């Protein structure tokens, strides 16, 4: 058995390899969604099963869970073809055989030692544009994946170390941003090269056997620790339901429902009551749903090492034909919105049995916004970005203001980068008062964005959520604010008919887009919040004086101090 000190050292060294792969891509990618927002990930995967062995800490956790399915797809294809060789690199973006959506391109490389595959190295990154009907690929009215972009099955980009330029030619011919695609692809290739060098050096130093033993022990320890955490929870079944606004086609809500069952040291996540697969692009593949469960379990049980062992004591039930187990060619472009709702219902169910481990729901949408047009010189430009909102209040304090979605450790692309890259000007980028859900611990604030077009004209596409169903609080906490989007036209401001999704918007120079993102849900009863904390929120502009009285029962004097007598009377009248 490997000794604990060596195991700890190897754990750090292996994680460092994945972290360096992340950093290599972030520093070399051409498109801001990877370079600035870090919408990518790297890891090491099991040679036979494709299971996650090691993940980088800087990339998107949702990718780490989904990539095990992607690596498994490569293993199965190589077995069918019988031609796997040292120096091969597979490339693909099939969302039904590896998860997520068409924008996320995966590169998978077998790592050989002594003539056999020791493990697989994998890279995934969100490319700027991969064809389809909508620039940036978030098409909210797609009814099949062909309208979302090009779909590439697992193919060899490298054969025994030799690059197939024809594959790159095909990819570039199908993108509105071929130069960006080429740069991102080469960044991923370089990340895999660096990972192979670093892993080879580690194996030379410690020996293949010891490193392999360490990988096996880390997975076994994750499974044992996860089972022990589950055993500490009370047995029973706990349910939580939430809703998507619509699928972008029909204006009807879609249920995401969970029945969470604890029996001893086993947990079942049963999503059988969720909506059937829909016409629009909020479906997700089974692999994506499983990866979402991996992410939220890691949020709740933070002490468990991040590898495939996390899910060993957990059964996930996703019935065929569900919104959460869609098959080709159902559209899946808006997968981010649906996995965020999976995270929300798991938080809601866990709040009933382990409130110390959960929190109010985060803002629940990435608000994927695309603007596209032509510059004065005729060149094409495509701006795709996502935007922040509030995180939920939690047992230890208030939620984060203007954070990124809990599917990732990504960052919101900086305004300076967006303005430098695209013909737009942000005339407002500010926190949104009263958007955080009231609670003993307040939800974090959403944001107010205002974007002015500087070119002659542009097409606008929005893919968001939480326009009708606000982010819930837990344990008596109140919901955060709804998502609100408007856009200028010659006759004034307009709102999308479906609230959070729309194509076909056209704006001209000087007209603006207005996005007010949701805040997070509150944690605990609002009247349990300290009046001094409420007064501080008002002083900082987080909460208005009117909302302080209405939501918290706190009355302030003209100088901003708490009127203790009036506050006591108001809270007493409210029965608090």
Q: Does one domain contain both 470 and 556?
A: no
Q: Is 559 contained in some domain?
A: yes
Q: Which of 506, 527, 548 is the last residue of a domain?
A: 527
Q: Give the structural domain span for 547.
A: 531-573
Last residue of a domain, one of 222, 255, 274: 222
Residue 291 · residue 342 · CB < 8 Å: no
Query: Which residues, listed in sequence order, are joined to residue 480 by a DSSP beta bridge?
Result: none
Tell whether 445 and 549 lie within a shared domain.
Answer: no
119 by Cβ neighbours in 10 Å (0-12 / 13-18 / 19+) ranks as buried
The burial of 48, by beta-carbon neighbours within 10 Å (0-12 exposed, 13-18 middle, 19 or more buried), is given as exposed
Residue written as token pair 């036979």: 48
CA distance 337 to 283: 9
Specify the number of domains making up the chain: 3
Largest CA distance in the chain: 80
Separation of alpha carbons 351 and 269, rounded Å: 15
Q: What is the spatial distance between Cα 196 and Cα 108, in angstroms, rounded to a whole number? A: 12
User: Cβ(169)–Cβ(490) under 8 Å?
Assistant: no
Q: Are 395 and 440 in contact (CB under 8 A)?
A: no
**Dihedral over Cα of 90, 36, 202, 197: its sign:** positive
561 and 516 inside one domain = no
Same domain, residue pair 375 and 515? yes
DSSP 3-state of 385: strand
- 241 closest CA partner among 201, 282, 196, 273: 273
Question: Which residues in the chain show pLDDT less than 70?
Answer: 408-409, 576
The token pair at 511 is 């007209």
Whether residue 557 sits in one domain with residue 447: no
The reply to whether 477 and 541 lie within a common domain is: no
Could you tell me if 376 and 483 lie in one domain? yes
Question: How far is Cα 123 from Cα 129, in angstroms, rounded to an integer?
Answer: 18
| Residue 1: predicted pLDDT | 75
Give me the pLDDT at residue 418, please: 95
Is 103 found in the same domain as 216?
yes
- Please count the other Cβ atoms lying within 10 Å of the Cβ belonging to residue 290: 23
Q: What is the pLDDT of residue 41?
A: 92
Radius of gyration of the CA atoms of the chain, in A: 24
pLDDT of residue 576: 64
537 and 517 in a common domain = no
Beta bridge partners of 418: none
Q: pLDDT by residue (tens digit) across 411-446?
A: 788 999 999 999 999 999 999 999 999 999 999 999
In a domain, 264, yes or no: no
Domain assignment present for 122: yes
Helix and strand counts by DSSP (H, E) for the chain: 12, 20
Which of 166, 191, 222 terminates a domain? The answer is 222
Do 430 and 538 lie in one domain? The reply is no
Q: Is the domain of 68 the same as that of 206? A: yes
Interatomic CA distance for residues 496 and 486, integer angstroms: 7
Pick from 140, 197, 142, 170: nearest CA to 20:
197
């Amino acid at each position: 058995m490997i000794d604990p000190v060596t195991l700890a050292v190897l754990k750090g060294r292996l994680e460092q390899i994945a972290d360096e792969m992340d950093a290599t891509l972030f520093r070399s990618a051409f498109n801001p969604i990877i370079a600035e927002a870090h919408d990518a990930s790297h890891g090491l995967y099991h040679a036979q099963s494709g299971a996650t062995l090691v993940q980088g800490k800087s990339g998107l956790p949702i990718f780490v869970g989904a990539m095990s399915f992607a690596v498994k797809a490569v293993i199965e294809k190589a077995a069918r073809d019988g031609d796997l060789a040292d120096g091969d690199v597979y490339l693909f973006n099939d969302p039904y055989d590896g998860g997520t959506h068409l924008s996320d391109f995966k590169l998978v490389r077998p790592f050989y030692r002594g003539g056999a595959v020791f493990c697989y190295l994998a890279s995934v990154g969100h490319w700027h544009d991969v064809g389809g009907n909508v620039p940036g690929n978030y098409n909210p009215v797609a009814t099949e994946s062909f309208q979302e972009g090009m779909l590439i099955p697992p193919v060899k980009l490298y054969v025994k170390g030799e690059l197939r330029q024809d594959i790159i030619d095909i990819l570039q011919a199908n993108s509105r941003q071929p130069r960006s695609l080429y740069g991102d692809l080469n960044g991923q290739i370089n990340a895999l090269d660096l990972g192979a060098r670093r892993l080879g050096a580690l194996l030379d130093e410690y020996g293949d056997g010891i490193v392999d033993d360490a990988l096996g022990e880390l997975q076994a320890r994750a499974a044992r620790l996860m089972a022990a955490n589950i055993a500490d929870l009370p047995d029973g079944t706990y349910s939580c339901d939430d809703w998507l606004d619509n699928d972008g086609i029909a204006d009807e809500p879609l249920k995401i429902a969970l029945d969470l069952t604890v029996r001893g040291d086993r947990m079942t996540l049963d999503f059988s009551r969720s909506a059937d697969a829909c016409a629009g692009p909020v479906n997700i593949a089974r692999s994506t749903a499983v990866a979402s469960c991996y992410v939220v379990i890691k949020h709740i049980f933070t002490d468990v090492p991040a590898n495939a062992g996390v899910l060993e004591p957990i059964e996930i039930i996703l019935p065929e034909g569900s919104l959460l187990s869609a098959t080709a060619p159902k559209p899946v472009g808006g997968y981010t919105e649906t996995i965020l709702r999976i995270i929300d219902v798991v938080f809601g169910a866990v709040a009933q049995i382990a409130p110390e481990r959960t929190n109010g729901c985060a803002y629940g949408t990435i608000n994927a916004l695309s603007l596209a047009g032509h510059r004065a010189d005729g060149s094409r430009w495509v701006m795709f970005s996502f935007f922040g909102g509030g995180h939920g209040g939690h047992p230890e304090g208030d939620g984060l203001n203007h954070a990124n979605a809990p599917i990732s450790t990504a960052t919101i692309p900086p305004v300076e980068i967006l303005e430098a890259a695209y013909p737009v000007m942000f005339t407002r980028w500010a926190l949104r008062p009263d958007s955080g859900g009231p609670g003993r611990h307040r939800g974090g604030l959403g944001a107010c964005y205002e974007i002015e077009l500087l070119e002659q004209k542009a097409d606008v596409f929005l893919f968001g959520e939480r326009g009708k169903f606000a982010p819930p609080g837990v344990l008596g906490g109140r919901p955060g604010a709804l998502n609100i989007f408007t856009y200028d036209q010659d006759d004034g401001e307009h709102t999308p008919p479906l609230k959070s999704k729309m194509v076909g918007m056209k704006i001209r120079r000087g007209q603006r887009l207005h996005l007010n993102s949701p805040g997070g849900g509150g944690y605990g009863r609002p009247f349990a919040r300290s009046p001094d904390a409420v007064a501080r929120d008002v002083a900082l502009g987080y909460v208005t004086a009117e909302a302080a009285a209405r939501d918290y029962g706190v009355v302030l004097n003209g100088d901003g101090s708490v009127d203790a007598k009036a506050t006591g009377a108001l809270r007493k009248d409210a029965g608090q």
